[in-house]
């Protein structure tokens, strides 16, 4: 059966329909899906009802799934973690935990941050719970040339432990996990290995400081870049349908969860991250 592709946002995100991923797609279909992702940064495969093994096989078409031992996972599938409206901050105040409610890119504190993240919406709220995205290629390209040239020279130290106060809740991190994840230094502007395009690489609550700048000055610059990048012309908001598998590219996007669905409404996602490279 042929895949039908439909653009979702004005300048990024595309939906694929007509696939049943309970059996593996043809090599040709897999190549079309990869191409759609590189060209549109976000790929939504609609209408799936598949088991964790088939989900993992699907995401493996895009790269190598990675295990993050500190996140709860589906029994028997350590690479398929879960994200639920029932998650509570057990190490903190016990309140509902909405992971990723600040604009961010996933796992930038790692030496090789995940290239892609996939979320599979098994239960989605009737209202709220959208995921928002900002296109960091477009945000970079819209800056004046002199500004781009300056930003191209900067390096940023990213740390797992949130380095700044007042940026909202995150999952509490056990000291032994923190000890395994030393800070990493990445360029503020990175070049995408598949497309060759440059993108701002910003994840506000993981950025400890900009190398060579005063902390405050670096934080102001990061805030300014985030404010610039989340303007409507660079963003897309995904309204979830049950059965959506959304795969996005962390190397050229920021994203953000919304915890705006009512208390008691359920949201349940299975999440897979795909190994990335050292950002350059």
Q: Is 208 a catalytic residue?
A: no
DSSP string for the chain: -PPEEEE-SSSS-EEEES--TTSPPPHHHHHHHHHHHHHHSEEEE-S----HHHHHHHHHTTS-EE--TTS-EETTEEEEEEEETT-B-TTTT--B--TT-SSB-TTTTSSS--SEEEEEEEE--SS---EEEEEHHHHHHTS-HHHHHHHTT-EEEE-SS--STTS-------HHHHHH---EEEESEEE-TTT--EEE---GGGEEEETTS-HHHHHHHHHHHHHHHTSGGGEEEEPP-TT-EEEEETTSEEEEE---SPTT---EEEEEEE------
Catalytic-role residue among 73, 104, 209, 251: 104
Q: Is 209 a catalytic residue?
A: no
- 3-class SS at 119? strand
Among 186, 190, 204, 255, binds ligand OGA (CB under 6 A): 255
- 190 or 255: CB nearest ligand OGA: 255
Q: Does 48 sit near ligand OGA (CB under 6 A)?
A: no
Residue 204 found at the interface with ligand OGA (CB under 6 A): no
Q: Specify whether 251 is catalytic.
A: no
Q: How far is the CB of 212 from ligand OGA (least distance, A)?
A: 30
Catalytic residue among 186, 192, 255, 267: 255
* 244 catalytic per annotation: no
User: Of 12-20, 60-68, 98-106, 229-237, which segment contacts ligand OGA by CB under 6 A?
Assistant: 98-106
- With CB cut-offs between 5 and 8 Å by kind, which of Mn ion, ligand OGA, none does residue 271 bind? ligand OGA
Of the pair 192, 255, the CB lying nearest Mn ion is at: 255
What residue number has its CB nearest to ligand OGA?
Answer: 100
Binding to Mn ion, residues 72-101 (CB under 5 A): 100
Of residues 29, 33, 28, the one with CA closest to residue 14? 33
Q: Which residues contact 106 (CB under 8 A, 6 or more apart)?
A: 100, 113, 114, 117, 250, 255, 273
Instruction: Indicate which single residue of 131, 135, 184, 205 sits in contact with ligand OGA (rule: CB under 6 A).
Output: 131
Residues in contact with ligand OGA, total (CB under 6 A)?
11
Segment contacting ligand OGA by CB under 6 A, of 32-40, 99-107, 201-209, 229-237: 99-107
Could you say whether residue 244 binds ligand OGA (CB under 6 A)? no
Length of the chain: 280
Among 106, 107, 244, 249, which one carries the catalytic annotation? 106
Q: Does 257 contact ligand OGA by CB under 6 A? A: yes
With binding defined as CB under 5 A, does residue 106 bind Mn ion? Answer: yes
Q: Which residues bind ligand OGA (CB under 6 A)?
A: 83, 99-100, 106, 117, 119, 131, 255, 257, 269, 271
Q: Which residues bind Mn ion (CB under 5 A)?
A: 100, 106
Which residue numbers are catalytic?
104, 106, 255, 271
């Amino acid at each position: 059966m042929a895949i039908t592709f439909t653009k979702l946002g004005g300048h990024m995100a595309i939906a694929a329909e007509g696939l049943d991923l309970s059996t593996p797609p043809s090599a040709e279909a897999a190549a079309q899906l990869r191409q759609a992702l590189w060209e549109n940064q976000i790929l939504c495969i609609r209408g799936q009802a598949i088991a964790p093994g088939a989900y993992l096989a699907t995401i493996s078409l895009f790269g190598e799934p990675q295990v993050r031992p500190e996140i709860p996972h589906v029994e028997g599938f350590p690479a398929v973690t879960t994200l639920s409206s029932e998650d509570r901050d057990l190490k903190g105040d016990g309140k509902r935990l909405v992971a990723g409610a600040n604009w961010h890119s996933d796992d930038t504190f790692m030496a090789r941050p995940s290239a892609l993240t996939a979320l599979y919406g098994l239960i989605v709220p009737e209202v709220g719970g959208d995921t928002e995205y900002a296109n960091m290629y477009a945000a970079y390209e819209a800056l004046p040339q002199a500004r781009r040239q300056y930003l191209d020279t900067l390096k940023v130290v990213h740390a797992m432990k949130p380095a700044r106060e007042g940026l909202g809740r995150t999952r509490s991190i056990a000291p032994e996990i923190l000890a395994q994840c030393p800070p990493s230094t990445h360029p503020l502007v990175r070049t995408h290995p598949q497309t060759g395009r440059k993108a701002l690489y910003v994840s506000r609550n993981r950025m400890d400081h900009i190398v060579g700048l005063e902390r405050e000055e670096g934080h102001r610059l990061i805030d300014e870049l985030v404010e610039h990048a989340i303007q409507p012309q660079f963003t897309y908001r995904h309204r979830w349908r049950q059965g959506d598998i959304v795969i996005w590219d962390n190397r050229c996007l920021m994203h953000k969860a919304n915890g705006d669905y009512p208390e008691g409404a359920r949201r349940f996602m299975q999440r897979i991250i795909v190994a990335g490279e050292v950002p350059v």
